[in-house]
Amino acid sequence: MKSILRTVACLCVITSLATGAVYAQLFNDPKFQLGASIGTFVYQGDLTPSAMGSYRTLKPSVNLFASKLISSTFSWRVNLAFGGLKGNDAKYSNPEYRQQRNFNFTSRVLEVSGMAEWSILGRNYISRGFAPYLFAGIGYNFINVKRDYSHLNAEYFGTESELITGLTTDAQRSLPRGLLVLPVGAGSRYYLSDRVGISAETSYRIMSNDYLDGFSQAANPNKGDHYYSHMIGVVYRLGKKNTLGCPVVRY
């Protein structure tokens, strides 16, 4: 009997609500979202012949984020990513000169960024189902580049070649300790409940620097360096429960 009375009371209250704002307050849509994911950074630059980047030298990465849900469509997000980048000429036998040039590098990456996120279908508040999204923002990458040209076969190229003269220039160049990046990307979450979901996303970093891998003039000064990431993880939404105990329907 008490259950029936409570249900009737809920229906009366809901019917009397005049605005969507009051409705949102009553049902307490989640206000914040936290996430953690693992994946990899993919290096794109002079030490790989593939336009898709170097999938032969992948390094693991971890990503943490917190976002403020502004509406069913938009949110603000703060991101922290940690991982590494690596490139190695020796991984490629074609073209042949890469085995003779034999440049390689590694770099630690710590990236902090802020982004705006758009839920394409307006599904930030759904209880279950897919919620695809796009995002873009600005960030700063703290890096520690370690380049290595100790295995170069100088005789193969000749002492007067552009590679040797370019390497002299590169060796005198101080490597960057930090880079401004513009992350852009897309992803999707699948919400298992009002609270918990799983996610997958890809993020590309727009940047303007040719020394991410430690080489420029000795490799290809006309080709800038970049990197992107693939991540899978879990998300958790924060918000108060429906205090009236009324059934909530989400679409």
pLDDT recorded at residue 147 = 96
Q: Which domain holds residue 20?
A: 1-27
> Quick check: is 245 in a domain?
no
My answer on whether 194 and 221 are in the same domain is yes
pLDDT recorded at residue 240 = 53
Q: Provide the 8-state DSSP code for 175.
A: P
My answer on whether 234 and 202 are in the same domain is yes
Asked whether the beta carbons of 45 and 228 are under 8 A apart, the reply is: no
Number of domains in the chain: 2
> Quick check: is 117 in a domain?
yes
My answer on whether 54 and 22 are in the same domain is no
> Quick check: is 87 in a domain?
yes
- Mean per-residue pLDDT, 128-144: 97
Query: In the beta sheet, which residues pair with residue 201?
Result: 187, 231
pLDDT recorded at residue 102 = 96
My answer on whether 10 and 80 are in the same domain is no
My answer on whether 90 and 153 are in the same domain is yes
My answer on whether 206 and 87 are in the same domain is yes
Between 218 and 251, name the one with better pLDDT: 218
My answer on whether 11 and 70 are in the same domain is no
My answer on whether 78 and 47 are in the same domain is yes
- pLDDT of 3 > 90? The answer is no
Q: How far apart are CA 193 and CA 212, in angstroms?
A: 41
